[in-house]
Amino acid sequence: MAKIGINIATGSLQQSEMIVGIDLGTTNSLVAIIHPESKKPIALKEHDSSSLVPSVVHFDALENAIVGELAKTFLETDPANTIFSAKRLMGKSYNDIKQNASFFTYKVIDNNDDSLVKVQVGQQFYSPIDLSSFILKELKSRAEHILKTPVTKAVITVPAYFNDAQRQATRDAGKLAGLDVLRIVNEPTAAALAYGLGLEKDADKTIAVYDLGGGTFDISILKITNGIFEVLSTNGDTYLGGDDFDRAIVKYWMNEIGMADTDLQASKELSQGLRLRAEEAKKHLSIHDVFSVDFNGDKLSITKNTFEELIQPFIEKTLKCCVNALQDAGLKATDIETVVMVGGSTRVPAVKNAVSSLFNQPVHDEVNPDEVVALGAAVQADILAGNNKEFLLLDITPLSLGIETMGGLMDVLIPRNSKIPTKVGRQYTTQKDGQSGMRIAVYQGERDLVKDNRKLAEFNLSGIPGMPAGLPKVEVSFLINADGILMVTAKELRSGIEQSIEVKPQYGLTDAEVERMLLESITHAKDDIAIRALVEARTEGEQILDVTEKFLVKNGSLVTKEEMMATAQAMQALQLALTMDNKNLIQTKIEELNEITRPFAERAMDAAVGEALKGKNI
Ligand code: AMP
Residue 390: pLDDT over 90: no
Helix (H, G, I), strand (E, B) or coil at 233: strand
463 vs 495: CA distance, rounded Å: 9
Mean pLDDT of 146-155: 93
Q: What is the pLDDT of residues 567-588, one digit of tens each?
A: 999 999 999 999 999 999 999 9
Catalytic residue from among 130, 138, 180, 211: 211
- Please provide the average confidence, as pLDDT, over all residues in the chain: 88
Distance 27 CA to ligand 1 centre (A): 10
Q: Could you tell me if the CB of 54 is within 6 A of ligand 1?
A: no
What's residue 614's pLDDT? 53
| Residue 172 appears among annotated catalytic residues | no
Q: Could you tell me if the CB of 85 is within 6 A of ligand 1?
A: no
| Residue 87 appears among annotated catalytic residues | yes
Sorted by where each starts, the structural domains of the chain and their CATH numbers stand as: 19-195+369-384 (3.30.420.40), 200-365 (3.30.420.40), 401-509 (2.60.34.10), 527-613 (1.20.1270.10)
Question: Which of 71-80, 97-106, 313-322, 507-516 has the largest mean confidence?
Answer: 313-322
Residue 125 CB-density burial (10 A; 0-12 exposed, 13-18 middle, 19+ buried): buried
Distance 344 CA to ligand 1 centre (A): 3
What's residue 10's pLDDT? 36
Q: What is the pLDDT of residues 231-267, one digit of tens each?
A: 899 999 999 999 999 999 999 999 999 988 888 888 8
Distance 104 CA to ligand 1 centre (A): 21
Q: How far is CA 368 from CA 119, 158, 274, 364, in A?
A: 33, 19, 27, 10
Q: Could you tell me if the CB of 282 is within 6 A of ligand 1?
A: yes
Q: Could you tell me if the CB of 348 is within 6 A of ligand 1?
A: yes
Residue (of 482, 483, 465) closest to 474 by Cα position: 465
Q: Could you tell me if the CB of 347 is within 6 A of ligand 1?
A: yes
Q: Could you tell me if the CB of 345 is within 6 A of ligand 1?
A: yes
Sign of torsion over alpha carbons 342, 345, 351, 353: positive
| Residue 211 appears among annotated catalytic residues | yes
**613 CB-near residues (< 8 Å, 6+ apart):** none
Residue nearest to atom 18 of ligand 1 (CA): 283
- Nearest atom in ligand 1 to 243's CA: 10
SS (H, E, C) 474-535: EEEEEEECCCCCEEEEEEECCCCCEEEEEECCCCCCCHHHHHHHHHHHHHCHHHHHHHHHHH
What's residue 483's pLDDT? 66
Residue nearest to atom 19 of ligand 1 (CA): 283
Q: Could you tell me if the CB of 242 is within 6 A of ligand 1?
A: yes
Sheet of 401-405, strand order:
409-414, 401-405, 438-444, 454-461
Q: What is the pLDDT of residues 258-294, one digit of tens each?
A: 988 888 888 878 888 899 999 999 999 999 999 999 9
In which band, very low, low, confident or very high, does the pLDDT at 611 lie, cut at 50, 70 and 90?
A: low
Q: How far is CA 558 from CA 111, 545, 553, 608, in A?
A: 21, 18, 11, 11
Distance 29 CA to ligand 1 centre (A): 13
Helix (H, G, I), strand (E, B) or coil at 270: helix
Residue nearest to atom 14 of ligand 1 (CA): 344
Distance 225 CA to ligand 1 centre (A): 32
Helix (H, G, I), strand (E, B) or coil at 314: helix
AA identity, residue 555: N
Mean pLDDT of 427-451: 90
AA identity, residue 609: V
- Nearest atom in ligand 1 to 285's CA: 20
Q: Could you tell me if the CB of 458 is within 6 A of ligand 1?
A: no
| Residue 513 appears among annotated catalytic residues | no
Alpha helices in 332-460 (DSSP H): 349-359, 372-384
Q: Could you tell me if the CB of 279 is within 6 A of ligand 1?
A: yes
In which band, very low, low, confident or very high, does the pLDDT at 13 lie, cut at 50, 70 and 90?
A: very low
Distance 145 CA to ligand 1 centre (A): 27
AA identity, residue 18: M
Distance 291 CA to ligand 1 centre (A): 17
Residue 337: pLDDT over 90: yes
Residue 529: pLDDT over 90: no
Helix (H, G, I), strand (E, B) or coil at 437: coil
AA identity, residue 581: D
Q: What is the pLDDT of residues 397-409, one digit of tens each?
A: 778 999 999 889 9
AA identity, residue 63: E
Residue 547: pLDDT over 90: no
pLDDT-above-90 percentage for the chain: 58
Residue 175: pLDDT over 70: yes
C-alpha neighbours within 13 Å on the C-beta side of residue 462: 3
What's residue 392's pLDDT? 38
Residue (of 539, 552, 541, 523) closest to 591 by Cα position: 541
What's residue 93's pLDDT? 86
